[in-house]
Chain A
Amino acid sequence: MKLDAKIPEGDLSEKWSKHKFNVKLVNPANKRKYEVIVVGTGLAGASAAASLAELGYNVKAFCFQDSPRRAHSIAAQGGINASKNYQNDGDSVYRLFYDTIKGGDYRSREANVHRLAEVSGNIIDQCVAQGVPFARDYGGLLDNRSFGGAQVSRTFYARGQTGQQLLLGAYSALSRQVAAGKVKLYTRTEMMDVVIIDGKAQGIITRDLVTGKIESHSAHAVILASGGYGNVFFLSTNAMGSNASAAWRAHKKGALFANPCFTQIHPTCIPVHGTYQSKLTLMSESLRNDGRVWVPKKAGDKRKPNDIPENERDYYLERKYPSFGNLVPRDVASRNAKYVCDEGRGVGETGLAVYLDFSDAIKRDGEDTISAKYGNLFEMYEKITGENPYKVPMKIYPAVHYTMGGLWVDYNLMTSVPGLYALGEANFSDHGANRLGASALMQGLADGYFVVPYTIGDYLSQMPYEKVSNDHAEFQKAETEVRERLNKLLSVNGKKTVDQFHKELGLIIWDYCGMSRTAEGLKEAKEKVQKLREEYWTNLKTIGTQDELNITLEKAYRVADFMELGELMIDDALNRNESCGGHFREEYQTEEGEAKRDDENYSYVAAWEYKGENMQEELHKEELNFENVQLTQRSYK
């Protein structure tokens, strides 16, 4: 298979404009003759479904939640980047592009990232026009804040719940199209497989989660906006239902999976407190604007934080990275938290936490100012931990938060399967080996509002108006396979519950393929995962039938896919003999303990091809060409 990213010719800053002119268009009157399926209704899915419907396409939108508004984009806290330069601090499209490429540790495509920066301003305009209540200053204009990995203030925000407001904006646009009859909405409906006919994605198989009914839906194209795979780790900041099954089904049907080992561990989450714990809660990294990260200088110092005098505290990020201080990118902040805890300087009962201290900020700006900025986050922290962060420093620890890897897509956001697109966190395209804060919302909405509505026309214009019938033999076959897979899960009749398996899987991946990795550990992990997978199919305990609302069955088929994906993450981490961004291989580090890239040998996208049950996947390489930025060792000193 030859990977063609279809990056347009020409100057970086002209590629997107030229491409928009060069792609084939579908005549306005003919758009209604095409039908597009959108799986997932988060920022990427809802914005794509709404925008395509506005253009005149017929859209079917699917989500497993009870409403499109529940998609996990809703939980994003901090903000959304855009190179508006409203603050007059020297921001520009090029600077946002540059920061994103550098933040991603030079493992993303220049052309995609530049396009992202180009449309970032349009996103803010669009959202404001929809009624998204971004924070404003007293003159009534939009406010900005700064975020990790950037030295300008380009982050737009709505208190600590920007994701919620942006998603509700996209949801309102989607709802308007539902009312207009252009979008048909399927809630509590999960995609079980993608159907490929004549080499093109022409529909999906779904399961109604309430009745268990399996159904076929045909269409001219299929868009997956189904999110990331952070829940492979069991404990993550993802929602309980977030899963990788849509993407993984597509992968097994031929879509390449890119850079699966690029996972992001977010530095500021509430630490784990017990084995019953079901998920981890993020504290927005915007907190690092005013909070200072520290641990005691002495290992094993068990004094209360407020009893430890200033000169016995180590503000290690400020010490090691004087110019970025507490605002270093996420991977750097996370790894350093791990180091100080490994040294025995971690705090709290488990020793797996560091302090995030607001006392200086409160002294400087007053409690009211800090409360206006972070009030809801402080409240949330107190609800969960029972401690008041206005009085006692927060305790934080890194947790799995985002996955940069995902389905491989070309410049048009089409996967290696014609007619199958992947948007938002489900694709791999823009964040390289590490995503900067406030860039996920930007990418999801860029893909949905401003990229796929243009690029999908290029494909659809070459499709006949008549879509395949959902009685086609391929649909029948796929439906049967889905029912058989579910029956298989229900008939194992073993002793261990899905959650038990999932927790075991998560621990293996966290320990060996988490914040730092070694070849030896990864090999061990691969064996462990293979063994666990084998046990899964012989010792899984399920209950009930597939023809009813069955929460155990839902988890069971998602975890079966997580097991396979987990193994691919390990393969990918083992293949990449370098450290970059979120992928830190202990063998490859600088003398100062920073990630050491190998640009000569690993400046490529690793795109994996599924070869069949229990077969080693095949690696395809898409070389990354940097024509506009100089590859340097990232430094935030």
Chain B
Amino acid sequence: MSEAKGMNLTLKVWRQKNASDKGKMVTYQVSDISPDMSFLEMFDVLNEDLLQKGEDPITFDHDCREGICGMCSMYINGKPHGPLDGTTTCQLHMRNFKDGDTIYVEPWRAKAFPVLKDLSVDRTSFDRIIQAGGFISINTGNAPDANEIPIPKDIADEAFNAATCIGCGACVAACKNASAMLFTAAKVSQLSMLPQGKAEKKKRVEAMVAQMDEEGFGACTNTGACSAECPKEISLEHIARMNRDYLNAKLTSDNV
């Protein structure tokens, strides 16, 4: 419907054959891009074009295209998930760009997120941080009635805000130190606020922070870039809460 307003754009895209390839920026032209298209649909169009020309399409991660699975990434014009606040790449639409724009697209850059191919990176380090302690130890079948423990609404809501993290890694990509503090803190904070999670509060924060360090994520210097670029706008307060929990755990830990 908006075809008449089609845009012509220059794309500079990171191409890298595999993990051991050095990689480089490659320039592509796309034309007649509808403003109603999503950013990834624009990539679909480019990929169809490349395939027709017998060139290898650009590998990029994506799945739900609804902004919730956390699979899409892309560092667009120097910002993770592009220019729009609170928006994943898949929810970014071309109406946010202008005809004639040049757009730079790179993968997440972090030691703990090695590039697999083109714009696709390995984020299994995040899974290992969760495995270290991002859970409440309860086996299936052990649960008491769900309404047995009332949880004040403000606490439930704040826990929910932390729990909305989609694990995309934009926080790491945005951070000059490639720190995973916001990701780790969101889970620590969610579980330590809830009564169900209190029993393992100390152990959890120690284990998750240790794993985060082991994966090679950088240190946090509180610049706040992570929260500013987070597509789910997870608050820095969670980092503060995690720091408090961590210090408390270390000072009162039984694991001497």
User: A interface vs B, CB < 8 Å?
Assistant: 47, 50-51, 54, 65-72, 74-75, 84, 86, 121-122, 124-142, 158-159, 161, 163-165, 168, 171-173, 175-176, 178-179, 185, 187, 210, 239-241, 273-274, 276-279, 281-282, 349-350, 379-380, 383-384, 386, 449-450, 453, 497, 499-500, 541, 543-544, 548-549, 551-552
Q: How far is the CA of A165 from the CA of B194 in the complex (A)?
A: 14
Interchain CB contact under 8 A, A67 and B127: yes
- Provide a sorted-by-A list of 25 A–B residue pairs whose CB atoms are within 8 angstroms: A51-B139, A66-B71, A66-B124, A67-B127, A69-B70, A69-B127, A70-B69, A121-B146, A125-B146, A131-B194, A131-B196, A138-B153, A161-B68, A163-B68, A164-B164, A178-B127, A274-B34, A383-B87, A383-B91, A449-B141, A497-B48, A499-B48, A543-B54, A551-B59, A552-B51
Shortest beta-carbon distance from B61 to chain A in Å: 6
Q: How far is the CA of A75 from the CA of B70 in the complex (A)?
A: 10
* With A140-B153, A274-B1 as contacts: A187 and B124 at CB distance below 8 Å: yes
* A to B contact number (C-beta, < 8 Å): 225
Interchain CB contact under 8 A, B41 and A278: yes
Partner of A240, one of B63, B135, B194: B63
With a CB–CB cut-off of 8 A, which chain B residues contact A136? 150-153, 156
Q: How far is the CA of A171 from the CA of B190 in the complex (A)?
A: 15
Q: Mark B115-156, 1 if CB is under 8 A from A, else 0.
A: 011001011101100111011111111111111001111001
Q: How far is the CA of A175 from the CA of B141 in the complex (A)?
A: 18
With a CB–CB cut-off of 8 A, which chain A residues contact B145? 125
* With A86-B147, A133-B160, A133-B194 as contacts: A239 and B51 at CB distance below 8 Å: no
Any chain A CB within 8 A of the CB of B191? Answer: yes
Q: How far is the CA of A179 from the CA of B164 in the complex (A)?
A: 23
With a CB–CB cut-off of 8 A, which chain A residues contact B196? 128-131
With a CB–CB cut-off of 8 A, which chain A residues contact B62? 240
The 4 closest A-B pairs by CB, nearest first: A140-B150, A172-B135, A129-B143, A125-B143
Shortest beta-carbon distance from A347 to chain B in Å: 13
Any chain A CB within 8 A of the CB of B95? Answer: yes
With a CB–CB cut-off of 8 A, which chain A residues contact B69? 65, 69-72, 74-75, 239
The B139-179 residues at the A interface (CB cut-off 8 A) are 139-147, 150-153, 156-157, 159-160, 163-164, 166-167
Q: How far is the CA of A126 from the CA of B34 in the complex (A)?
A: 46
Shortest beta-carbon distance from B235 to chain A in Å: 15
* With A133-B160, A136-B156 as contacts: A544 and B140 at CB distance below 8 Å: no
Interchain CB contact under 8 A, B68 and A75: yes
Any chain A CB within 8 A of the CB of B44? Answer: yes
The B66-119 residues at the A interface (CB cut-off 8 A) are 66-71, 84, 86-87, 91, 93, 95, 116-117
Any chain A CB within 8 A of the CB of B65? Answer: yes
Interchain CB contact under 8 A, B59 and A140: no
Any chain A CB within 8 A of the CB of B216? Answer: no
Q: How far is the CA of A390 from the CA of B177 in the complex (A)?
A: 40
Partner of A72, one of B2, B45, B63: B63
Interchain CB contact under 8 A, B136 and A131: yes
Shortest beta-carbon distance from A382 to chain B in Å: 10
Partner of A176, one of B57, B87, B135, B157: B135
Interchain CB contact under 8 A, A129 and B61: no
Q: How far is the CA of A281 from the CA of B143 in the complex (A)?
A: 35
Any chain A CB within 8 A of the CB of B29? Answer: no
Partner of B63, one of A65, A135, A282: A65
Interchain CB contact under 8 A, A131 and B197: yes
Interchain CB contact under 8 A, B52 and A497: yes
Partner of A51, one of B57, B61, B122, B140: B140
Interchain CB contact under 8 A, B93 and A549: no
The B6-56 residues at the A interface (CB cut-off 8 A) are 18, 34, 36-38, 40-41, 44-45, 48, 51-52, 54-56
Interchain CB contact under 8 A, A54 and B139: yes
* With A65-B71, A131-B190, A543-B51 as contacts: A276 and B63 at CB distance below 8 Å: no
With a CB–CB cut-off of 8 A, which chain A residues contact B57? 543, 551-552
A383-B87, A543-B57 are known; give 6 further A-B pairs, CB within 8 A. A65-B63, A141-B147, A142-B146, A161-B164, A164-B166, A278-B44
Any chain A CB within 8 A of the CB of B254? Answer: no
Partner of B140, one of A47, A141, A158: A47
Question: Looking across the interface, which residue of chain B has its beta carbon closest to that of A279?
Answer: B65
Q: How far is the CA of A552 from the CA of B108 in the complex (A)?
A: 23
With a CB–CB cut-off of 8 A, which chain A residues contact B124? 66-67, 187
Partner of A276, one of B34, B95, B166, B191: B34
Interchain CB contact under 8 A, B63 and A380: no
With a CB–CB cut-off of 8 A, which chain B residues contact A240? 62-65
Interchain CB contact under 8 A, A131 and B36: no
With a CB–CB cut-off of 8 A, which chain A residues contact B139? 51, 54
Q: How far is the CA of A277 from the CA of B254 in the complex (A)?
A: 56
Q: How far is the CA of A179 from the CA of B208 in the complex (A)?
A: 12
Q: How far is the CA of A113 from the CA of B152 in the complex (A)?
A: 34
Interchain CB contact under 8 A, A179 and B150: no
Interchain CB contact under 8 A, A130 and B138: yes
With a CB–CB cut-off of 8 A, which chain B residues contact A179? 131-132
Interchain CB contact under 8 A, A274 and B37: yes
Q: How far is the CA of A163 from the CA of B66 in the complex (A)?
A: 13
Interchain CB contact under 8 A, A541 and B68: no
Interchain CB contact under 8 A, A124 and B146: yes
With a CB–CB cut-off of 8 A, which chain A residues contact B59? 549, 551
Considering residues B67, B87, B132, B135, which has the most beta carbons from chain A within 10 angstroms of its beta carbon? B135
With a CB–CB cut-off of 8 A, which chain B residues contact A380? 66-67, 91
Q: How far is the CA of A138 from the CA of B150 in the complex (A)?
A: 10
With a CB–CB cut-off of 8 A, which chain A residues contact B45? 276
